[in-house]
Amino acid sequence: MSRQKILLSWSGLGREPFTFRGGKSEPGAHLQLLRDSEFSGYFDRHLLLAVPETLADSERLVRELMAIAKPVPTEIRLLRLANPTDHLEIAYALARFFEEADIEARLLDHDLYVLLNAGTPQMQTVWVTLVTQDLLDLKIIQTSPASLAQRSGTPVARLVELNMTGWATLFRRLQERQSEG
């Protein structure tokens, strides 16, 4: 079995496939990544995680994604969450999802990427926690609206390096200052 590049993401309520910024319609995070960036055509498969309340939005997003020049086979996976802003509930749901998907399709034998921007801020925090605590081997991708990426000189989509040792260096003086008090 060859390793596949699999994208994981959450669907959002009413924010995809397009979003409004500054009174104008712009591509949402999924279109930025899969259509407008160097990651276009990069992934072998896309698992779009959704809650029942976002199913209609997820289906609309999948239709839009299938219409792009290099579509990625996308499958919607429903996860049951009573509260999509509860970190612990999200973590439990993701743990069950990964266990089931690994039994079903050996998911953990593939290269897994996560689109960070999609879903609630709490969902985003859980992804970051899974990576920084070395709980799962995931590569995180962040997108930026084209206007902000152009202004800052960064790509529309990029891999995010969550090197906590490097971050500790940035805050070392502040840590030392706190330990003085």
For the chain, domain boundaries? 5-180
CA distance 28 to 56: 16
The predicted pLDDT at position 129 comes to: 95
Give yes or no for a contact between 162 and 131, defined as CB atoms under 8 angstroms apart: yes
Phi, psi of 21 (to 5 degrees): -140, 125
Joined tokens for residue 27:
């591509």
Pick 5-180's CATH classification: 3.90.700.10, 1.20.58.390, 3.40.50.10770, 3.40.190.10: 3.40.50.10770
The predicted pLDDT at position 180 comes to: 80
pTM for the whole thing? 0.88
Task: Please write the tens of the pLDDT for every residue from 42-98.
Answer: 999 999 999 999 899 999 999 999 999 999 999 999 999 999 999 999 999 999 999
**Strand locations in 43-171, DSSP E?**
45-50, 74-78, 111-115, 138-143, 157-160
